[in-house]
Amino acid sequence: MTEQPSPSSSREPASPGEHPASPASVSRRQMLATSAAAALAGAAFLAPGSAQAADSEPGSASDIKSDVSPHLNFSLTGKGALVTGAARGIGRAICVALAAAGADVLGLDIAETVTPSLVYPGATPDELAETGRLVEAQGRRWIGVKADVRDFGALKAAAERADKEFGHLDIAVGNAAIQIYGPIAEMSDANWKDVIDVNLTGCANTVRAVAPLMIPRKTGRIVLISSGQGRHGFKNGSAYAASKWGIIGLMKSAALELGEHQITVNTVEPGLVDTDMTRNPGRWKEALKEAGKKPSEHPTEAEVIEARLPTAVMKIPWMQPDEVAPSVVFLCTDAANRVTGSTYDATAGDSARYTA
């Protein structure tokens, strides 16, 4: 929530001969709460009657009184959240983690195979229902919605339902995504469009659906799930890498637009995570190629682990979904109310090699 300025932060300038307010009575956080107070900041931070302070450079370390009180509210009790791609994997882990922190959750998923070009099975209605059972096991409310993130009308209706049934919508996480492999010179129009529309347009639709509900309340947390592959190229994965890089640009633009409404927008970029998108022969082949190995027609998990471990920074082949979710939860808390326009890497060290 946005902290309101105290009466002392908007007091009239001191009259001639009158000392300015004592630094003990006005914190730096309070002084900068309004533009009028900011104009007084230099005077308010000086010790009364201090000639040396008056001669020092305004804003120097010796003059500024910092607000050192802790601002560590990590609870989401009473918050309402919407999460896309909620049926399994990272989306499920995020739903459960948000609920564990106190939030009620609307989980949205297409819960079917998006395109036959996928090399892994699509989510199912039963998997979405299982996410709901796990959220309710945390003692929180759950709404499951079967919908396609490419359908803006469906997303808008889901956001409005969460806002109505939870009393307000405070959090939105754009997580739904698919991955299709293939050389860019051979990529079909349909495959390129499916990846971009689900991953990038789906996140844009999420922001467009929830922002109008958050703006009047002057508060909100939006987190978009990008990928380590959005921070570097990926051979035979150009559409996915482009969509995930695009999400970062989308996030930064939305952060600039929504910041004045005290709505934060950030991304979390997971590395390789043990999900259905990863745990399949198609992705394992790409992982072996990345490691300089020639994959067999039916690679095994053991082969992939052996290939990845030598270069794995934390000596694990891939992360688990519940190791990504805490970063998302943090960005949704009041403790992160001044974190916006940021990219958070949850990669088990892969990001140590990023140059962009």
Nearest to 79 by CA among 341, 334, 337: 334
CA–CA dist 32, 226 (Å, integer): 33
Rg over alpha carbons for the chain, rounded to the nearest Å, is 24
CB 198 within 8 A of CB 150: yes
3-class secondary structure, 277 = coil
Q: 46 falls in which pLDDT band (50, 70, 90)?
A: very low
pLDDT tops 90 at residue 233? no
- Report, as an integer, the average pLDDT of 88-104: 98
As to burial, measured by CB atoms within 10 angstroms (0-12 exposed, 13-18 middle, 19+ buried), residue 315 is exposed
Q: 294 falls in which pLDDT band (50, 70, 90)?
A: confident
- pLDDT tens per residue across span 172-210: 999 999 999 899 999 999 999 999 999 999 999 999 999
Q: Which residues are identified as catalytic?
A: 240
Share above pLDDT 70 across residues of the chain, in percent, rounded to a whole number? 80
pLDDT of residue 285: 77
- pLDDT tens per residue across span 6-32: 443 333 444 433 433 433 444 444 433
Domains of the chain plus CATH, in order, are 7-55 (no CATH), 80-274+322-353 (3.40.50.720), 279-317 (no CATH)
pLDDT tops 90 at residue 33? no
CA–CA dist 328, 344 (Å, integer): 9
CA–CA dist 229, 237 (Å, integer): 9
- Report, as an integer, the average pLDDT of 211-237: 94
CA–CA dist 218, 212 (Å, integer): 10
Nearest to 86 by CA among 166, 142, 163, 48: 142
